[in-house]
Chains A and B, each alone.
Chain A
Amino acid sequence: MNDTRAEKLKDIETIIAGLGEQNYIASRQISTAILIAQNLSKPILVEGSAGVGKTELALSTAAYLDLPLIRMQCYEGLDESKALYEWKYGKQLLYTQVLKEQIGDVLQGATTLHDSMARLNDFSDVFFSEQFLEARPLLNALQQKAGAVLLIDEVDKSNEEFEAFLLEILSEFQVTIPEIGTIKADTPPIVFLTSNNTRDMGDALKRRCLHLFIPLPDAKLEERIVAARVPNLDARLRKQLVFFVQQMRELDLKKLPSISETIDWARVMVLLHAEDLDRTLVHETLNVLLKFEEDIRTVEQQSTELIRNAVKGAETGRLAATA
């Protein structure tokens, strides 16, 4: 199992091709990161603005490697009982009841206190054992025999204590449960942490991770991504679409549209059976791309020019310099 994984991740070209099969168009940087992560067994911290495909990268990697994806969404107030493990209290209580009834049998024949203690010690202690352990995502990922892809999503949303608590898992791929001991992963999972940079991650965490920054794509890459994700969109319209979005990224907007918005927009175009970008079409569907009223207004004012440039760009294959 491990061999196939190593084989699938043996060099950059293989990784790019493999992720391509999952309709994820990876840049060289991205696949280098995965290659190094595999070689050094280190987690990858993925940063970039919302919608550039951080989470998607983990999903595609899992699909490509045919490993289970274990996903943990972070939020403020997330603690270890939700992330790591929890005891099955109910069962533990039942167990003590059962034990109470059976204790007579166990101690039968023991005459002295010393003798009873010896018997009790011989009797295996299962109260704190893995039987009563409810595995949460992190522990679950370590327990997968064949390995797994662990996605710790939006780690910047969690609070700092939780970040500190992740350190042991990220550097050693093990967790320590006080009552049982240390549980170590048989096969280290591939770990992705994603962050939108709402706050700076601590140095300790950054130091343990490889740091991958995914920027907004250039026109060529974006076109390939849209082609992969929305295959039934007409090639000419696709070009126009991409050029239009690329121009928008040059504008001074509150929230720039990222890849996921472009893909959504492309899907809308397919649904509407659109053939060419025009003013009404753009105005009607702009809310797919932009999430702020202000931004929509800014773009609407310039839409004629943007559309003209995009259409021209689609014909010539490159974008004229925008004013």
Chain B
Amino acid sequence: MQQPLEHFIKALRASEVRVSVAEAIEAHEVVAAVGYSDRQLLKDALSITVAKSEEEKERFDETFELYFARTEFRDPLDEGEDGSDENNMPQFGDGEGAPETGNELADLLLEGDRQEMAAQMEQAGQQVGVGNIRFFTQRGFFARRLLDQMGLRELERLIAELNRGGEGQPEDAMEMAAALEQGRSMLLDEARSYVDRQYELYARAAGEQLRAEFLEQTSLANIERRDFDRMSRIVRRMAKKLAARYMRRHRQARRGQLDIRRTLRVNMANDGVPFHTVWKTKKVDRPKIVAICDVSRSVAAAAQFLLLFLYSLNEVIAQLRSFAFSSNLIEVSHTLEHHEVDEAIPLILKDIGFRPTDYGQALRDLKDEFLDTIDRRTTVIMLGDGRSNYSDPEIEIMRQINERSQRVIWLNPEPESFWGTGDSEMNRYRPFCHVAKTVNTIKGLERVIDDLLRSTTRV
């Protein structure tokens, strides 16, 4: 009774529904309470017990359907109602007095007992551990092992013997061999689709994870277009994770001011003698961020992802002002706020993207229009390569920004050895950045932002 549920939970975990041990135990209790007889009831009951968010519920539904849909061998009689398809399934005689061949699997095939066959396949599958399948390429291997476990070799030997004929073989040996041969090919099909289902259940999500990990570490410039969807999912998940960790308000003790009300309350147990003192606290605000993103031609490959990141950041941080520029700088907070991600990014790129860079112009625009968005609680993030086409880099404005803000962080997709070469002004901007780093992978981006949020909240 317990087995199917345990495997189901394993399948759930494989498809990224987090099921803790305690929840697994509860799932058992729930099943004990509702039983397996009512499918819908079982599904609803398990769903409220183990899937704890809207996304998890979706994945739960998928996995449930997949997991409990199996073990139905196709019934050939359903296909042709008049029974013309009958020879799809080896039926020997009228099925009633199927001959004994001395081979269990062969008997089973000749009898045509689908349910028993499904059960045996299930059992064999567990014995060879099909649930451990990890890669798409392993399917053939597992299908073979599954069939071996069920006794395919013996069956093949039997078929060969029957075909050879000769002494000691029943009279209708050839017919029987043909029937078994047919049964064998059906068995192969079923085994393959069984393994496919197992792969779907246990491994697809793991493969996806592997792919995601790989993408996280690939240089932004090298990521191919077809991975864009996957990428945007990764970035969103990352932004959400970071937000969950840091966006709550922190309290910080303000030393020296006694919170009289709470002190009295705490010390009621001591008849009001203040053994324990409680100090007033103040709330530490969520980080306030101004992000400025270069979308010019020189960073074309990375611009999409920088904007994508900006978009995700915008979803999770309340106080974010974002700007984008090639030469002229515009505010894009509104665009990011009011459009879906796949609309917003092309919209911004169409507006100002892929033009020649002019950092000086961009900084002048920032100074003229938006300098008051930067105050001493603001963190300024620059995303760009610092290549300014030999125009005036306006180092002076950078210095002002540095002075006004809490800190300035420059994330550059180029490796550090390129900084200062050609038209790169990076080395001149650098003294006015609190942090200047090379970031060219998603993983790196995550690490930097993680550092960033941690240090702002600690201030």
A residues at B contact (CB < 8 Å): 12, 28-29, 32-33, 35-36, 39-40, 42, 44-45, 47, 81, 87, 89, 92, 96, 128, 159-160, 178-179, 199-200, 206-207, 209-213
Contacts and interface: CB of A to CB of B under 8 A. Distances in A.
27 contacts: A12-B41, A28-B40, A28-B44, A29-B47, A33-B48, A35-B34, A36-B30, A36-B34, A36-B49, A39-B30, A40-B29, A40-B30, A81-B265, A87-B268, A92-B268, A128-B269, A179-B269, A200-B53, A200-B244, A207-B20, A207-B22, A210-B48, A210-B49, A211-B49, A211-B51, A211-B53, A213-B57
B86 to A, nearest CB: 40
B52 interface: yes
Interface string B36-71: 000011001101110111100100000000000000
Interface string B8-39: 00000000000010110010011001100000
B248 interface: yes
Given A28-B40, A28-B41, 14 more contacts: A29-B44, A32-B48, A35-B34, A36-B49, A44-B48, A92-B268, A128-B269, A160-B248, A179-B269, A199-B248, A209-B52, A211-B51, A211-B52, A211-B57
Contacts, number: 65
A209 B23 CA distance: 10
Contacts of A28: 40-41, 44
A40 B33 contact: yes
A125 B54 CA distance: 52
A138 to B, nearest CB: 17
Interface in B271-303: 271
Given A160-B248, A211-B48, A36 B33 contact: yes
B23 A207 contact: yes
A47 B269 CA distance: 39
B361 to A, nearest CB: 34
Nearest to B51: A211
User: Which of A44, A96, A160, A207 is the most central at the interface, judged by chain B CB atoms within 10 Å of its CB?
Assistant: A207
Contacts of A178: 269
Interface residues of B, number: 27
Given A89-B268, A160-B248, A178-B269, A206 B52 contact: yes
A159 B251 CA distance: 11
9 closest residue pairs by CB, A with B: A32-B44, A206-B52, A211-B52, A210-B48, A39-B33, A33-B48, A29-B44, A32-B45, A212-B48
A96 B272 CA distance: 12
Nearest to A93: B272
Contacts of A206: 52-53
B188 to A, nearest CB: 40
B26 A29 contact: no
Contacts of A44: 48
B92 to A, nearest CB: 46
Contacts of B22: 207
B364 to A, nearest CB: 34
Nearest to A29: B44
A32 B41 contact: yes
A87 B44 CA distance: 44
A284 to B, nearest CB: 28
Nearest to B44: A32
Contacts of B49: 36, 210-211
Contacts of A96: 271
Contacts of A92: 268
A40 B52 contact: no
Nearest to A160: B248
B174 to A, nearest CB: 56
Contacts of B57: 211, 213
Nearest to A205: B52
A207 B51 CA distance: 10
B382 to A, nearest CB: 30
A128 B269 CA distance: 8
B269 to A, nearest CB: 6
With most chain B CB atoms within 10 A of its CB, the pick from A128, A209, A211 is A211
Contacts of B51: 211
Nearest to A80: B265
Contact of B45 (A36, A89, A159, A207): A36
Contacts of A200: 53, 244
B272 to A, nearest CB: 9
A211 B48 CA distance: 5
A36 B44 CA distance: 10
Contacts of B53: 47, 200, 206, 211
B68 to A, nearest CB: 17
Nearest to A128: B269
Contacts of A12: 41
Nearest to B261: A81
A180 to B, nearest CB: 11
Contacts of A211: 48-49, 51-53, 57
Contacts of A47: 53-54
A42 to B, nearest CB: 8
A32 B41 CA distance: 7
A159 to B, nearest CB: 8
A36 B29 CA distance: 10
Contacts of A210: 48-49
Contacts of A29: 44, 47-48
Interface in B378-435: none
Contacts of B269: 128, 178-179
Contacts of B41: 12, 28, 32
Nearest to A212: B48
A35 B268 CA distance: 43
Given A89-B268, A207-B20, A213 B44 contact: no
A45 B54 CA distance: 12
A45 B49 CA distance: 11
B286 to A, nearest CB: 12
